[in-house]
Every structure is written in C-alpha cells, then in structure tokens.
Chains A and B, each alone.
Chain A
Amino acid sequence: AQSVSQHNHHVILSEAASLELGCNYSYGGTVNLFWYVQYPGQHLQLLLKYFSGDPLVKGIKGFEAEFIKSKFSFNLRKPSVQWSDTAEYFCAVTPSGGAGNMLTFGGGTRLMVKP
C-alpha cells in the first residue's frame, strides 16, 4: 500500500517570501501525484497534478511542483506567497492504472502568511 509523508506540519511566512512544502511518498510502482488546498472554511480543491511527462508541473495561483522520481518526492513551490495563500495543503498519491482517483493523502501542512 502507498503512503504519503509531509514533514512540515506548520509553516509561517511573511508575504513575498518563497515557499517550498515537502512531500514524499512510498510506493513500489508508478504513481499519479496531486496537491490539494483547503482555504479556511472551504472544501478541498485541486491545486495541481502530475501524471507523466515533464516532471515540473504548474498549477493555479502561481504554484508549481516538481516530481523527483529518485527521491520519491513531489514538493510544492511558490516564488512569492500572498496573505491569501493562508490555507492547509495536502499532498496525495494514487497508483497509476488503479482506481484512478482513489487518493491517499499526507497529513497536511498548515501555512500561515503574515501580511
């Protein structure tokens, strides 16, 4: 079975700072990878996804993530955060070729951006 680890539980940044949130997964085969975001009081929303091809994927709101197969990692980045990025971020994985959208989530990283 697959698992996902997000090492940073809480991150506090000032506006305009750069962001990198770590995500590592454990699975013996090929995977599809996702980042979801949950803004305060709202439902989970898809930020970006990786299936295959270019390991650097771009998502909404200026976010990007890089899949490094050798490190089993899919870190989320943003060059300059805004106060509105305050949210909880979840990395998720699903085996390629399985029930395509049955996700295994990491524990989440709560990001607070100070104005």
Chain B
Amino acid sequence: GAGVSQSPRYKVAKRGQDVALRCDPISGHVSLFWYQQALGQGPEFLTYFQNEAQLDKSGLPSDRFFAERPEGSVSTLKIQRTQQEDSAVYLCASSPGGGRDSPLHFGNGTRLTVT
C-alpha cells in the first residue's frame, strides 16, 4: 500500500505475555519512529531509526521494551512481560529523510490492551 502499515491493529495480551508489533514503513523511507499514545494523551516518543541504526531509544520506558529494524525497512517493537500500564496505542511513523522538511507519515497504530 501507499501508507505506513501496522499490524496487528488490535492486540490483547495477558499480563506477563510477550508481544511483537510490526511496522511496514513507506518504501524507501529512511527514518522510522515509534510513539506510545496512552488513552486521552498525546503520542510520546519511544525510539528512532535511521535505516537500520537505532539512533535514539531514550523514550523506551523500561528494558522490557525493545525495537529493531534489521534491514532498514520493516521494524518490530517487542514488549516483554507486558504490564497493565503498557496498554496504549503504539504508533509508527516514517519519513523520507531525517531533516525538518521531511514530513512524518503515521500508521493507524496498534491498540494494545493488557489484561
């Protein structure tokens, strides 16, 4: 497709389970971002890739969160031993470059519910 694709759209996990969220950016886009959006709040930055290099992971809330983009295209956000506070919409965004003139294209997100 033409846009950023995220899967699954919805994920329900029991507390303690591991989950993996996938992001397919727009083909050729260099930059890829993950954001976490809790209910009623704005998106919060998690991590940023330029090609396969993870340049910033300062927003990852704990060492249970791990992201990778091994071939510089598809990215996976993994959450180990999920907790209820991990419930949120996880947004992926990509852009052609890394500068300010490079607009972000967002996916529809994955809504994670931890029970």
Contacts and interface: CB of A to CB of B under 8 A. Distances in A.
Nearest to A90: B42
B46 to A, nearest CB: 11
A9 to B, nearest CB: 8
A67 B100 CA distance: 17
A102 interface: yes
Contacts, number: 63
B31 A101 contact: yes
26 contacts: A4-B42, A42-B108, A43-B3, A43-B109, A44-B43, A44-B93, A94-B100, A96-B100, A99-B48, A99-B98, A100-B98, A100-B99, A100-B102, A101-B31, A101-B33, A101-B95, A101-B98, A101-B100, A101-B102, A101-B104, A102-B48, A103-B45, A105-B35, A105-B42, A105-B44, A108-B42
Of all A-B residue pairs in the complex, the 6 with the closest CB atoms, nearest first, are A100-B100, A105-B42, A44-B106, A100-B99, A43-B106, A107-B42
